[in-house]
Structure 1
Amino acid sequence: MNWIITMVGAATVMFILRDVFHTLWHPTRHGGLSRMVMTGLWRLASRLSPSRRAAGLAGPLGMVAVVAMWACGVAVGWALVYWPHMPYGFSFARGLDPTEHSTPVDALYISLVTLATLGLGDIAPTAGWLRIVAPLEALVGFALLTATVSWVLGIYPALTRRRALALRLSHLRRAHLTEESLDTASAVALIDGLAADIARVHVDFLQYAESYYFHDGLGNTSLAHTIDYAAELGQSVRATGHAAARNSAAVLTIALEDLAAVLDQRFLHTGGSMQEIFRAYARDHNSRGPA
């Protein structure tokens, strides 16, 4: 029975570490637990605040909740590994009665102390294999802290790129570009730049899927608010007589279709056309559309 509990604890730790791996390091996957937490908070925010005031907190709170879930899961898993082997596999400081300090709470205490790399030493493993397992938990705790910092440092630049693209599209919309101005060689550089920016946002949604659950507001920094203009701009350029500009517009359209595909596959699940997916994206982020 003791070893069954130990194996359950080890399986719990491996399950959490798998979720960490798929969330932070796998370029095209999204951890199952982290996705459930982020999606759940996003849906809850939309229900609590139809005007999306609470949605601005969904992303940051979701990241905090995911990290807390990972830490608690690892701590509980390792506690299940330690508990069946207490008190005989551990040494206790003077003044501690081993029979009174061998409860599940004490096992969780040992796990938390080890995970946080505090090393208090009042209860320490003495069994050979436990002396190997305990430092491994400390290494996992250090790696989890480092990974969390890297996650934060990676996701906010992705948000910056998305919002910068939205703002650029807003500027272009307000400039009221005419077909004559688009039927020039300068339009090629403009469209190529937009296609490249959209491709970067596409990669960000793959690499940092959690960034979807960060609300960009209802203004011109919201990609859900402005992405439809990129499609309109591509159609306008394709109607011109400039061959190079038409080729660039074709590339822009493909980039938009790929972006719509990843939005639909990962978040929206509409199965519709590019225009329908972008409308669903706008609704999910409560975009008011252009003025």
Structure 2
Amino acid sequence: MVSLWWLSPRLGKRRRSAGLAGPLGMVTVVAAWALTVAVGWGLIYWPHMPEDFSYAAGLVPSEHAGPLDALYISLVTLATLGLGDIAPASGWLRVLAPMEALVGFVLLSATVAWILGIYPALARRRALALRLSHVRRSGATAEALDSDGGAALLDGLTSALSTITVDFLQYAESYYFHDGDENTSLPRQLRYALGLADRATGAHHPDVRLSASVLRRALEDLAVVLDERFLRTGEGPERVFAAYADDHGQPQGPDGPPQDGGSGRS
């Protein structure tokens, strides 16, 4: 997936090609899993063909004892098709074949679990980006944030950021999925979140100052995870988020913090 991500901007238009890196990477990984399992078990069957296998009527055993036939048996068993035209006949092979079928079932379950884990993580990431976009486009002023509602807003963003940080730790491959729309692109919105936290630290309301401090720490933790796992800039949050946006083909834009009495719009 790292290789596909690295190649994506070199294959043409960045956004279009990068959007395929994550899904294509998952398909490649699953295909590699299945192929490795099928070839491995086929290499176990091959030395014992045709003596330890029974063949359906019309098949000449000596003509169906090559590596492709062993791979065919392995794929049929792995997919739990059970065609039965070539089947193990010796005692230990008859036990081994069902074990491969169990491996195939585990492989299918792992693939489904992986997909069901990745896409909710992506949805949470995009939901946070959209929420930040809503705040930015709503024209929230520094005065409006200096209130109980502002503290609650900052706390909600902190909670969502903590979840995203855990998602990047548990589902690192989710980094290689591209978000094309700027309003649902977390790399595009993080600079605004950083400015929001910095601005709110100067609020008069003590709860807002506390919430802003926690939000800033959550952003710093996210920057550490992004930098250690993917970017390796060795810089602070500002530079890490800039590198994150650049790596995803997202312009930084005028997404600074809200100003006193200003609209906060970009």
Shared fold (TM-score greater than 0.5)?
yes
What residue number does 1:119 align with?
Answer: 82
Where 1:91 maps in the other structure, the secondary structure is: strand
What are the Cα deviations for residues 42-96 of structure 1, in whole angstroms up to 9, with x where unaligned? Answer: 1221111244211111111111111111111111111111111212222222222
Q: Is the 8 A contact 1:218 1:287 kept in 2?
A: no
Rounded Cα–Cα distance in structure 1 between residues aligned with 2:68 and 2:84: 16
Q: Is the 8 A contact 2:8 2:14 kept in 1?
A: no
What residue number does 1:184 align with?
Answer: 147
The code of the aligned residue for 1:209 comes to A
Q: Is the 8 A contact 1:218 1:225 kept in 2?
A: no
What residue number does 1:72 align with?
Answer: 35
The counterpart of 1:106, out of the listed 69, 84, 100, is: 69
What are the Cα deviations for residues 214-251 of structure 1, in whole angstroms up to 9, with x where unaligned? Answer: 11015111000001111111111111122111111111
Q: Is the 8 A contact 2:50 2:61 kept in 1?
A: yes
Q: Is the 8 A contact 1:218 1:288 kept in 2?
A: no
The percent identity for this pair of structures is 63
Where 2:82 maps in the other structure, the secondary structure is: coil
Where 1:54 maps in the other structure, the secondary structure is: helix
User: Larger C-alpha radius of gyration, 1 or 2?
Assistant: 2
Question: After superposition, where does 1:7-46 map in structure 2 within 5 Å?
Answer: 38-46=1-9
Rounded Cα–Cα distance in structure 1 between residues aligned with 2:159 and 2:169: 16
Rounded Cα–Cα distance in structure 1 between residues aligned with 2:51 and 2:40: 20
What residue number does 1:84 align with?
Answer: 47
Rounded Cα–Cα distance in structure 1 between residues aligned with 2:86 and 2:14: 52
What residue number does 1:248 align with?
Answer: 211
Rounded Cα–Cα distance in structure 1 between residues aligned with 2:166 and 2:65: 49
What residue number does 1:269 align with?
Answer: 232
What are the Cα deviations for residues 80-136 of structure 1, in whole angstroms up to 9, with x where unaligned? Answer: 111112122222222222222111111000000001100011111122221221111
Rounded Cα–Cα distance in structure 1 between residues aligned with 2:198 and 2:44: 61
The code of the aligned residue for 1:153 comes to L
What residue number does 1:14 align with?
Answer: none
Q: Is the 8 A contact 2:121 2:164 kept in 1?
A: yes
Rounded Cα–Cα distance in structure 2 between residues aligned with 1:218 and 1:49: 19
Q: Does 1:94 align with 2:40?
A: no
What residue number does 1:149 align with?
Answer: 112
Rounded Cα–Cα distance in structure 2 between residues aligned with 1:278 and 1:139: 44
The code of the aligned residue for 1:254 comes to R
What are the Cα deviations for residues 153-191 of structure 1, in whole angstroms up to 9, with x where unaligned? Answer: 221111111111111111111223322222212111011
Higher-RCO chain (CA-CA 8 Å, sequence separation at least 6): 2
The counterpart of 1:130, out of the listed 47, 68, 93, is: 93
Rounded Cα–Cα distance in structure 2 between residues aligned with 1:47 and 1:226: 25
What residue number does 1:226 align with?
Answer: 189
Give TM-score scaled by structure 1 length: 0.83
Rounded Cα–Cα distance in structure 2 between residues aligned with 1:198 and 1:209: 15
Rounded Cα–Cα distance in structure 2 between residues aligned with 1:171 and 1:80: 57
In structure 1, the gaps of 5 or more residues are 1-37
Give TM-score scaled by structure 2 length: 0.91
Q: Is the 8 A contact 1:218 1:286 kept in 2?
A: no
What residue number does 2:202 align with?
Answer: 239
What residue number does 2:123 align with?
Answer: 160
The code of the aligned residue for 2:38 comes to A
Rounded Cα–Cα distance in structure 2 between residues aligned with 1:218 and 1:48: 20
The code of the aligned residue for 2:53 comes to F
The counterpart of 1:280, out of the listed 228, 243, 247, is: 243
What residue number does 2:179 align with?
Answer: 216
Q: Please tell me the root mean square deviation across aligned C-alpha atoms, in Å.
A: 1.4
Rounded Cα–Cα distance in structure 1 between residues aligned with 2:251 and 2:14: 11
Q: Is the 8 A contact 1:59 1:214 kept in 2?
A: yes
Q: Is the 8 A contact 2:43 2:70 kept in 1?
A: yes
